[in-house]
């Protein structure tokens, strides 16, 4: 048997050296980074996460989800590996604070921006109402529906739990504003079933100095004062009463702005019948609408010759030009028109001449007019959004009660 003598060799590598080596290859974590981590301990109000740092990171319960939760187990499981957002730098104990909520928040804004780009209709349930309108959640984000964009006869308090179709009015992540419209979603859906020159039955729901708002199957159309009759009308109140049931013809559908323009003027058998005998107008509505359609078709056919150009003229056709006009031929120009000749132009039209169309709502239209447009300015909508309806990502040091106080 061979005896072997083992000699202890000094390798010159101490615990301090090993610790320094670990520091050399330690990952550097910064707030805003998204890292992979493994859950190794669930706490009553949070969880400890291993992300490869020297000290385990911590995620508080209010940062576990974009929605309100009561326990960590609703979101996380032991030994589960997933992505985490580094919320704050190391504290005095060397511990990082993490968030899942911030990741969900960023991705939710990406989704709603895409939905707005696609002009998609979304459905959401009303979870709260306030003086300005109603609150819903879209992709976990809190959205606001201004009162003027809620198209229902229910009281706002009765909307709790109601599932509504909605269109996006404003998506602004920087200002944390998500504004939606119930009215526009209904108008678009209704517009898909309506046609220009179609005669529909509606109910007068509101009278304004510039026209009447007509309910046609749950959406509102504007019967402008200039489209009520060929005769001059001082006010729509002289022709209609609220809740009157009338027949109107659709003369314009503007899906982009969410407007439906109506007319009874085009249905008059004789000018002024809407003032003298409105029932006659309603009785002959379909007949007059057909004549109106024929008139439109004739106008379209009449525009075809105007499209002909000199290139279409046969070569042997004597095309007369100004150069061929004899010098002694009296060519009359606008300059030769006597000064006293009444040449009427659009600029000479009196201010009170009813040349507006139903789509041209007067500039003095009251601010409370429920005419829906998709191009409302942020400032106009801001007036309807009461303080506290905007939801910002919660800071780590916020108490849970503060995070859900708005709800």
Q: Give per-10-residue mean pLDDT for the chain (407 aa).
A: 51 63 64 91 91 88 91 92 90 88 94 94 93 93 92 82 93 94 86 89 94 88 95 94 94 82 95 94 94 89 50 41 42 40 41 39 39 41 46 38 32
User: What pLDDT does residue 318 have?
Assistant: 43
| CATH fold label, 104-187 | OB fold (Dihydrolipoamide Acetyltransferase, E2P) (2.40.50)
User: What pLDDT does residue 12 have?
Assistant: 59
| CATH fold label, 26-99 | OB fold (Dihydrolipoamide Acetyltransferase, E2P) (2.40.50)
Going from the C-alpha of 42 to that of each of 45, 48, 86, 89, the distances in angstroms are 8, 6, 18, 21
Q: Which residues pair with 141 in a beta bridge?
A: 138
Q: What is the dihedral of CA 303, 305, 306, 311, to 10 degrees?
A: 150
User: What pLDDT does residue 19 have?
Assistant: 62
Q: Which residues contact 394 (CB under 8 A, 6 or more apart)?
A: 62, 63, 101, 402, 403
Going from the C-alpha of 239 to that of each of 181, 205, 206, 320, the distances in angstroms are 32, 14, 13, 55
User: What pLDDT does residue 141 have?
Assistant: 94
Q: What number does CATH give the domain 195-299?
A: 2.40.50.140
CATH code 2.40.50.140 region(s) in the chain? 26-99, 104-187, 195-299
User: What pLDDT does residue 341 have?
Assistant: 41
């Amino acid at each position: 048997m061979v005896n072997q003598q083992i000699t202890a060799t000094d390798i010159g590598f101490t615990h301090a050296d090993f610790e320094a080596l670990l520091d050399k290859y330690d990952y550097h974590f910064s707030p805003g980074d998204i890292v992979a981590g493994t859950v190794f301990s669930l706490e009553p109000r949070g969880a400890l996460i291993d992300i490869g740092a020297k000290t385990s990171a911590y995620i508080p319960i209010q940062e576990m989800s974009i929605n309100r939760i009561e326990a960590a187990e609703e979101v996380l499981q032991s030994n589960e590996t997933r992505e985490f957002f580094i919320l704050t730098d190391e504290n005095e104990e060397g511990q990082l604070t993490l968030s899942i909520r911030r990741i969900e928040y960023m991705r939710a804004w990406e989704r709603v921006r895409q939905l707005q780009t696609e002009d998609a209709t979304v459905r959401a349930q009303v979870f709260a109402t306030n003086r300005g309108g109603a609150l819903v959640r879209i992709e976990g984000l809190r959205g606001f529906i201004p009162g003027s964009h809620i198209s229902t006869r229910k009281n706002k308090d009765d909307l709790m739990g109601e599932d509504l179709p909605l269109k996006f009015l404003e998506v602004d992540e920087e200002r944390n504003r998500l504004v939606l419209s119930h009215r526009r979603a209904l108008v678009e859906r209704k517009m898909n079933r309506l046609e220009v020159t179609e005669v529909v039955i509606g109910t007068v729901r509101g009278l304004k100095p510039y026209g009447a708002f007509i309910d046609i199957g749950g959406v509102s159309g504007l019967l402008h004062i200039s489209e009520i009759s060929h005769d001059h009308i001082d006010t729509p109140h002289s022709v209609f009463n609220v809740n009157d049931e009338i027949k109107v013809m659709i003369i314009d559908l503007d899906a982009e702005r969410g407007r439906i323009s109506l007319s009874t003027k085009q249905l008059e058998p004789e000018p002024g019948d809407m003032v003298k005998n409105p029932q006659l107008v309603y009785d002959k509505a379909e007949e007059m609408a057909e004549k109106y359609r024929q008139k439109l078709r004739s106008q379209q056919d009449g525009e075809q010759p105007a499209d002909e150009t000199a290139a279409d003229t046969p070569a042997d056709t004597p095309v007369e030009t100004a150069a061929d006009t004899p010098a002694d031929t009296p060519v009359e120009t606008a300059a030769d028109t006597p000064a006293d000749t009444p040449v009427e132009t659009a600029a000479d039209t009196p201010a009170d001449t009813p040349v507006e169309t139903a789509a041209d709502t007067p500039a003095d239209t009251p601010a409370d007019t429920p005419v829906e447009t998709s191009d409302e300015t942020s400032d106009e909508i801001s007036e309807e959004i009461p303080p506290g309806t905007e939801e910002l990502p919660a800071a780590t040091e916020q108490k849970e009660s503060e995070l859900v106080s708005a709800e």
